[in-house]
């Protein structure tokens, strides 16, 4: 198995003669040039995991690719006229000798004002577990874990404890692209605090704030 990280949560996984792309989101661009993609896995509908323009480009470059995802993403894909197959919690898909299983149903809570969405983690080839935005325990052996390390829905300590519970042989970090951009860690507190008349002012490196 070969795993190439395109950025944030977008991975190219090569195993059993297949090339699997995960979550072509807004925080990565390399997916737009990827060729030979057989399968696209989309865990949930947030823009950092599903960027419609990127997905359109990926499909243009890889018209043979099959999309596997859940019902939440499926609504958006149906509206766009994009074909897909459901792969949700408790389900599995086998393509030639490659098996992909779905685990989990809910995105981890962010804040009460943020709507809950469906999130499906995927166990690829019975080796690599890619959880999306949740710390779901598949209760199956996990050899390789794609571990979220940053985001408005998690603490780093939770990520470490999650990896300890799953006991994989290899762990690598994902969900870290937002550390470089004006993302949810800025937008969410900015929106919530504004309602109370509190000015939340994100600052770039080198920027000064006069108060």
**β pairing state of 10-15 and 144-148:** unpaired
Please tell me the predicted confidence (pLDDT) of residue 209: 61
> Mean pLDDT for each consecutive 10-residue tract of the chain (211 residues)?
94 96 94 97 97 96 98 97 97 96 97 95 97 97 94 93 93 86 72 83 67 65
Measured CA to CA, the distance from residue 189 to residue 192 in angstroms comes to: 5
Please tell me the predicted confidence (pLDDT) of residue 196: 86
pTM above 0.85, yes or no: yes
* CATH T-level assignment (fold) for domain 2-194: Metallo-beta-lactamase; Chain A (3.60.15)
Q: What are the boundaries of each domain within the chain? A: 2-194
Q: Cα 9 from chain centroid?
A: 5
**β pairing state of 66-69 and 39-42:** parallel
């Amino acid at each position: 198995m070969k795993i190439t990280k395109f950025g944030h949560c977008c991975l190219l996984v090569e195993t059993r003669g297949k090339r699997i792309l995960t979550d072509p989101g807004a925080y990565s661009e390399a997916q737009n040039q990827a060729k030979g993609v057989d399968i696209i896995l989309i865990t949930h509908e947030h823009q950092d995991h599903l960027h419609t323009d990127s997905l359109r480009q990926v499909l243009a470059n890889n018209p043979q690719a099959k999309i596997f995802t859940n019902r939440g993403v499926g609504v958006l894909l149906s509206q766009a006229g994009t074909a897909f197959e459901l792969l949700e919690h408790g389900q599995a898909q086998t393509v030639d000798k490659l098996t992909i299983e779905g685990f989990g149903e809910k995105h981890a809570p962010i804040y009460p004002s943020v709507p809950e969405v469906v999130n499906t983690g995927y166990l690829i080839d019975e080796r690599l577990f890619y959880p999306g935005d949740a710390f779901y325990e598949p209760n199956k052996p996990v050899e390789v874990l794609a571990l979220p390390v940053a985001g408005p829905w998690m603490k780093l300590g939770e990520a470490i404890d999650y990896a300890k519970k799953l006991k994989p042989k290899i762990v690598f970090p994902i969900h870290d692209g937002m550390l470089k951009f004006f993302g949810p860690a800025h937008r969410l507190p900015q929106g919530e605090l504004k309602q109370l008349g509190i000015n939340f002012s994100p600052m770039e490196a080198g920027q000064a704030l006069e108060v």
